[in-house]
Amino acid sequence: MSLSRQLSVLWPSGLVFAFALTVLSCGLPPVVSTKVGKPMRVLPTNATAVDYVFDLIDESRVVALPDTVSDYATVDVDFTKWTGDRAFHEFSAEVILSFDPDLVVVSPWQDQSTIDRLIESGVQVVELPPVDELDDIRGAIRKTALALGEVQRGEQLLADFDARALALQEAWGKRGVVRGLVYTNYGSGGWAAGSGTTAHQLMQLAGVSNVAAEGGRVGHDGVDIETLLDFDPDVLVISKPSRDYGVTRNYLDGEEALQELRAIRDSCIIELPAGLFSTASHHLVDGAESLARELDALIAAGRLTPAPK
């Protein structure tokens, strides 16, 4: 669904610009920014921020990246160039300010005292919204584009996101009903993604019914073996092994009590790259497209039979 908006852009002499963007349909208040020139020392502090920033500006305007971002960012970037004095590990005001950024992009789950100190220092800080609905991603695109002085590129990015989401909707409308569960197990217990999660939005984009959300689960909720058997999804969606996601497949393959679970019995476990599995950016549509392709392959192989709508 496209967002309604009011947009005004003024470019005197090509240097000083002032613009106001009002996002109506996702309930965001008007955002007004007036500044001289565009930010030229941008510092995204997590994988989601990297996704937005690198799709909106040239990397020459980025000053540094987190040293763990290559595991989870989904943009096409050569992260081997972002090491040494172009990388940082600690999310602290002292470390971030040492790069002399003129704009820092953060997420709400990061340490609030650090965010407050950055704001107090006078540096411009863009805080991405939590993603409960797809409109939150649309709002984040516009908010970040506004701060970067790249409103037109933001609109292009949003148009691409909406077009691809619509194509996914048209495809799954012909597929039938598939019941799925996004599942993670770190070795000390399992977690299912219910409503109000990016994983739920991922499944909705791909046309998969989320059995956890249908069962009233909200957020990432703990599930035991008995609950998994009760859910009995057609497909399980998990992450491929990475720095943080390495145990789930081993657990599913090795737990004897789960071998009669429909998704395991019929070999309907879909593994997504860690970045697509966990992204909270517009690249969620990439994950949904990958999930949809895997679903269609399972259907073509005769291992998955969607129920009639």
In this structure, the chain runs to a length of: 309
Question: Where among 163, 195, 222 does a domain terminate?
Answer: 163
- Please give the radius of gyration of the chain, using alpha carbons only, rounded to the nearest integer: 21
Structure-token pair, residue 64: 């540094």
Structure-token pair, residue 81: 């160039």
**Partners of 87 in the β-ladder:** 65
Structure-token pair, residue 191: 């977690």
Q: What DSSP character marks residue 26?
A: T
Residues 206 and 110 grouped into a single domain: no
Helices (runs of H) and strands (runs of E) counted in the chain? 12, 14
Residue 139 lies in a domain: yes
Rounded to whole angstroms, what are the CA distances from 30 to 16, 17, 25, 143, 165? 20, 17, 12, 10, 26
Q: What DSSP character marks residue 173?
A: T
At 216 the pLDDT is 96
The answer to whether the beta carbons of residues 206 and 168 sit under 8 Å apart is yes
Residue 26 lies in a domain: no
Residue 16 lies in a domain: no
Residues 225 and 159 grouped into a single domain: no
At 243 the pLDDT is 67
Residues 153 and 246 grouped into a single domain: no
The CATH code of the domain that includes 108 is 3.40.50.1980
Give the three-class secondary structure for 106. strand
Question: Where among 114, 135, 163 does a domain terminate?
Answer: 163
Look at residues 279, 274, 206, 211 and name the one whose alpha carbon lies nearest to residue 240: 274
Residue 2 lies in a domain: no
Domain with 259 in it: 176-300
Residue 59 lies in a domain: yes
The answer to whether the beta carbons of residues 293 and 272 sit under 8 Å apart is no
Residues 294 and 181 grouped into a single domain: yes
Residues 269 and 232 grouped into a single domain: yes
Residue 4 lies in a domain: no
Residues 135 and 231 grouped into a single domain: no
Give the three-class secondary structure for 202. helix
Residues 157 and 243 grouped into a single domain: no
The answer to whether the beta carbons of residues 115 and 45 sit under 8 Å apart is no
Residues 42 and 159 grouped into a single domain: yes
At 244 the pLDDT is 61
At 34 the pLDDT is 43
Predicted TM-score (pTM) of this structure: 0.85
Query: Around Cβ 307, how many Cβ atoms within 10 Å?
Result: 10
How many domains does the chain divide into?
2
The burial of 36, by beta-carbon neighbours within 10 Å (0-12 exposed, 13-18 middle, 19 or more buried), is given as exposed
Give the three-class secondary structure for 191. strand
Residue 14 lies in a domain: no
Residues 183 and 295 grouped into a single domain: yes
In tens digits, the chain (309 residues) has pLDDT values of 433 333 333 223 232 333 333 333 334 443 434 455 799 999 999 999 999 999 999 999 999 999 989 888 999 999 999 999 999 999 999 999 999 999 999 999 999 999 999 999 999 999 999 998 999 999 999 999 999 999 999 999 999 999 999 999 999 888 999 999 999 998 788 999 999 999 999 999 999 999 999 999 999 999 999 999 999 999 999 999 876 656 899 999 999 999 999 999 999 999 999 999 999 999 999 999 999 999 999 999 999 999 998
Question: Where among 163, 184, 211 does a domain terminate?
Answer: 163
Residues 43 and 102 grouped into a single domain: yes
Rounded to whole angstroms, what are the CA distances from 280 to 54, 137, 139, 215? 15, 8, 12, 23
Residue 235 lies in a domain: yes
Q: Provide φ and ψ at 281, rounded to 5°.
A: -105, -175
